[in-house]
Amino acid sequence: MSFSPIFQIKNLIDNSIELPDDMLLSIYEASGSTLMELFSLALELKEKYTGKKVNFCSIISAKTGICSEDCAFCGQSSLVRKKNKKTKINSLVTEAEIVEAAKIAKNNGANEFSIVTSGTSINNKNELNIIANAVKRIKEEVGITPCASLGLMKYEHLLLLKGYGLEIFHHNIETSSDFFPKICSTHSFKDNIETIKSAKKAGLKICSGVIIGMGESRLDRIRMAKEIKNLDVDNIPVNFLNPIPGTPLENAEELTPMECLKTLVIFRFVNPLKNILAQGGREHNLRQLQPLALMAGANGLLLGNYLLTSGRNPSLDIELINDLGLEKAEYVK
Ligand code: SF4
């Protein structure tokens, strides 16, 4: 595949012209000094549009356990329950536990904090009240941007949470619309889009991203970057599959660190103005190249543990950005 000159790519981005698929695909073939030039352009765009500060987001798994959905990457899906009958559903943690976790996240250096629950959605009044009250206290007492990831949600419930101070709603598209039926059969790509649209209508900022390494093609990754662009979301987390034993993807082919970094470059080129976060699975997939994520277009990292797998010690990520001469973003009310 012939490689497109950097000036051509830059020219199209500067003029807000969509990059053709073959041009983006050629990025996966780059190596050596050409690859460094691509990183350099991704870095230039990141600094131009999102500044030099690094966003750190942390999460709490506020409701953990088996879900009726069958997402192939997820250790909480109904497919895992079939294999492990002992897995149980835990009830939602208390408001106090959520607020305490937000305080710890802030002390560790996070400027955003997300309440994440397993299951199709949260529509039980009692659970909604716990989350809404926690959101209010996270905003007022803790001083960190509250975010929630609660599955497929109704507009009126999102509006209620917005009223309590929720700023960001997270809901991943997970993968491209074409590939989605291969990773989930219990809800559709369209269901995801409807939830995202409802959250937008409720006045919430949107965090919506993808997981790469689930068997999708490179072209699928380019399509997901473009599908996200069309949704015009605020934050785009790019997760790298860390296969969970017992899931259908437990033996998925490993990504290489360079494949991950090139995907970040593509997401920055397609979505130059947005926050792009290197999220779950970066330790497992990027290994020693983790700092390069912030040189390849990402301007944020997930700090601390993931949903079902451990992240690294937050102090290492603070050290990482200090060593790169970057600063962490602060919460602004
Ligand atoms: S809906 Fe969420 S918790 Fe349920 S299987 Fe899918 S990713 Fe896992």
Confidence of residue 84 (pLDDT cuts 50, 70, 90): low
Contact 256, 85 (CB under 8 A): no
CA distance 211 to 305: 17
Give the rounded percent of residues in the chain with a pLDDT score beyond 90. 81
Q: How far is the CA of 117 from the centre of ligand 1 (A)?
A: 9
Length of the chain: 333
Q: How far is the CA of 87 from the centre of ligand 1 (A)?
A: 14
Q: How far is the CA of 313 from the centre of ligand 1 (A)?
A: 26
Does position 305 have pLDDT exceeding 80, yes or no?
A: no
CA distance readout (Å), 156 to 21, 125, 136, 203: 38, 12, 17, 12
Give the rounded percent of residues in the chain with a pLDDT score beyond 70. 93
Q: Where are the domains of the chain?
A: 6-328
- Ligand 1 pocket by Cβ (under 6 Å): 67, 69, 71, 74, 76-77, 118-120, 151
Residue 144: helix, strand or coil by DSSP? Answer: coil
- Relative to the CA of 117, which ligand 1 atom is closest? 3
Q: In this structure, what DSSP letter does residue 259 have? A: H
- Relative to the CA of 70, which ligand 1 atom is closest? 5
**Which pLDDT score, from 0 to 100, does residue 274 have?**
97
SS3 content of the chain, % helix, strand, coil (to 5): 45, 15, 40
- Relative to the CA of 76, which ligand 1 atom is closest? 8
Q: How far is the CA of 73 from the centre of ligand 1 (A)?
A: 9
Q: How far is the CA of 240 from the centre of ligand 1 (A)?
A: 16
- Relative to the CA of 184, which ligand 1 atom is closest? 6
CA distance 89 to 105: 25
This prediction's pTM: 0.94
**Which pLDDT score, from 0 to 100, does residue 76 have?**
87
Q: How far is the CA of 262 from the centre of ligand 1 (A)?
A: 27
Q: Which residue has the least CA distance to atom 5 on ligand 1?
A: 77
Does position 269 have pLDDT exceeding 80, yes or no?
A: yes
Q: How far is the CA of 208 from the centre of ligand 1 (A)?
A: 15
Contact 88, 66 (CB under 8 A): yes
Q: Which residue has the least CA distance to atom 3 on ligand 1?
A: 118
Q: The domain 6-328: what is its CATH number?
A: 3.20.20.70
Q: First CA to last CA across the chain, in angstroms? A: 48
